[in-house]
A and B are shown apart, each in its own frame.
Chain A
Amino acid sequence: MPTVGLFIPCYVDQLFPQVGLATVDLLEQAGYGVEYPADQTCCGQPMANTGCTEQARPLAERFLAIFSGYDYVVAPSGSCVAMVRCHYDEYLAGQPGFEELKKKTFELCEFLVDVADTSRVDHRFPYRVGLHQSCHGLRELRLASSSELVAPAFGKAQRLLQMVDGLELVTLARPDECCGFGGTFAVAEEAVSCMMGNDRIHDHLTAGAEVLTANDMSCLMHMAGLIRRQGKPLRVMHIAEILAGHSK
């Protein structure tokens, strides 16, 4: 049985443990052994995105040391996977095991579709769901077609959600606009960030969504923060929770 090294982003570990647990279930259901290396912390993305590359470098090196032994590395976060696959070259190019690491590191939905070849999901989720396409998953990892490019449409998360019995995906006016989280951007440009988030939420509500989902918890944390403050009628769930049937 191939073993997956579970990569749980730091803030998911601390704030959204239910997303990690759903991920474990999904991977085990798909027939993989799952191991969570306890000494992992953060992939270094916040530092790298701020320009503090020297603060990110040791974290990239730790990541390689911790995860290089597994058959696959899977994370329920497109953004953190994009850090490894698209931005670690700066720190790790040429190091033994790095090229393999890039090839075997996957975002959860991508892994379920491309590697595990998932063809059915055994849960019912009778709600209207709005899928927020998280930007790094979309335009770095290409987990779905982006609306700017002229190419056939596809989407890995959509494909999985369509397998869920009773689930209805709503159609958004702006299918893949950014929610405005953007790491330190959410704080440094608070006003624009919150306006972006509110506009995203409005689009989902207008489309009739009851549940807002995404494959990045960071986008959801930002939008859930706005939704709760304003008491808007929209539930927020990570896609892993829906797919694993952890929907309460």
Chain B
Amino acid sequence: MNHAPLAAAFVADAPRAKWHDETLWFVRAKRDKAAQSVPEWEELRECAAQIKAHTVSRLADYLEQFEREATRRGAVVHWARNAAEHNEIVLKLLSDRGVKRLVKSKSMLTEECHLNPFLERHGIEVVDTDLGERIVQLAGESPSHIVLPAIHKKKEDVGQIFHEHLGTTAGATDPNYLTEAARQHLREKFVQAEAGLTGVNFAIAETGGFVVCTNEGNADLGVSLPTLHIASMGIEKLVPRAQDLGVFLRLLARSATGQPITTYSSHFHGPRPGGELHIVLVDNGRSDILASDEFRRSLNCIRCGACMNTCPVYRRSGGHSYQTSVPGPIGSILAPSRNPKMFYSLPQACSLCGSCSDVCPVKIDLHHQLLTWRRELAHQGLLSRSKRLGMQAMSFVFRRPALYRLAGRVARWLTPLLPRFMIYNGLNAWGKQRELPDFPAKSFGEQYAERRRHESQRNS
């Protein structure tokens, strides 16, 4: 799987790529305004980074504390080593209770684990209740963004999908009309559901509780009607104390959508009366990342999506071009740690502009980690042959100044003499849309030497 051809296909639909870029840039601009409204923004980021670094440095202890406290409050805690174990645990909870209909809310982790197709294979209906997620689910796609899952869909696309699946009027594009149709449809699903599954934004070791942030209130609804609530969380979602929440809640919504706070920050501490609460703690490669000095900081991620919105490549290539549940800069760091062979092209899908690192609310040095991944991939022999040979040849020449000067002279002399088709052809990706510069007769080195010669002649 390679990012570049998928990105090129996205860019080829120029108006859509432009619209995608502008829509996400609008979100980034909103984020800028929201961040600027907090004078202590940079201190908050630093504070969040330190809390995360601390938590991760004694993750095992905090996880045990969390389990103890959550259990004390009546929740049941499960541990899953990987995606398969997570899915089995969820399935068993559901089938033991004869659940046939599940509503889900805000869980990228279940995307990571491919829970939906797994449950569907076992005869369970799964409905994503976040509006954006429902749209992509009906379209038979995966989310293209972790906060704005259907951001690649225009309202015309949504109208078409709703027309096919929910029976709305053909050609309808009015957001109010379409949202109302979704609301009616989802209400039915909420009422029928026998269990609700949510993700977790923050889990608190001290109290054994957790917080889910949504803008639509769907997490609350999904777990208030049925008696069974399953919460799936990656083990990195922990914060030590309840008082740490303030730091993260202020950063999360501003970074994600430019809101001061998400509309609903729902706190869950134990099951509701008469209900059951099960928390599944999932590793799925996270402890490998924890063990690596270079990539450990990527576990700080609070999944705000700001690095995607700011990334000039993501904005123009669309989330699906990354072929992973978490796309964009952070996804390009996380995915190769699971499968370097499959995701080798993601760390290359980056111009190293560094905007992601500056925007990240928990100060992950994203662009440096992407660079580290390139080194790691080259080390593992996963660099393309052409790149590897090209770099070896360049290095050979650059180590030999006389050869470098000669090669430069030859190239500057030869290239302008070549017929255009020899320079601008399918083999030269530079020249597809770009001209080469005019080649000067003399290099700087040659002109500088002449200048110094003249100066010394004048002075003598």
Interface residues of A (CB under 8 A from B): 8, 10, 12-21, 24, 36, 38-42, 44, 46-53, 55-56, 58-59, 62, 135-136, 138-140, 146-151, 174, 176-178, 180-197, 199, 221-222, 224-226, 228-229
Contact = CB atoms under 8 A, between A and B. Distances in A.
Interface residues of B, number: 75
Interface string B413-446: 0000000000000000110111111011011111
A147 B41 CA distance: 13
A38 B401 contact: yes
Nearest to B435: A228
B199 to A, nearest CB: 26
B330 interface: no
Contacts of A44: 395, 398
B161 interface: no
A47 B447 contact: no
B170 interface: no
Interface in B15-72: 17, 21, 25, 32, 35-36, 38-39, 41-42
A47 B395 contact: yes
Interface stretch (B108-116, B281-289, B384-392): B384-392
A224 B408 CA distance: 21
Interface string B347-377: 0111111110111000000010001011111
A157 B120 CA distance: 59
Given A13-B408, A192-B316, A180 B433 contact: no
Contacts of B312: 177-178, 180, 192, 196
Which of B41, B42, B408, B434 has the largest count of A CB atoms less than 10 A from its CB?
B434
Contact of A225 (B35, B358, B437): B437
Contacts, number: 221
Nearest to A20: B444
Contacts of B392: 52, 55
Contact of A41 (B11, B350, B401): B401
A149 B35 CA distance: 8
Most A CB atoms within 10 A — which of B36, B312, B367? B312
B7 interface: yes
B434 A195 contact: no
Contacts of A58: 395, 399
Contact of B394 (A39, A42, A136, A180): A42
Contacts of A19: 444
A14 B399 contact: no
Given A58-B395, A191-B8, A226-B434, A20 B358 contact: no
B317 A192 contact: yes
Contacts of B352: 49, 135-136, 182-183, 185
A173 to B, nearest CB: 9
Contact of A189 (B348, B378, B394, B447): B348
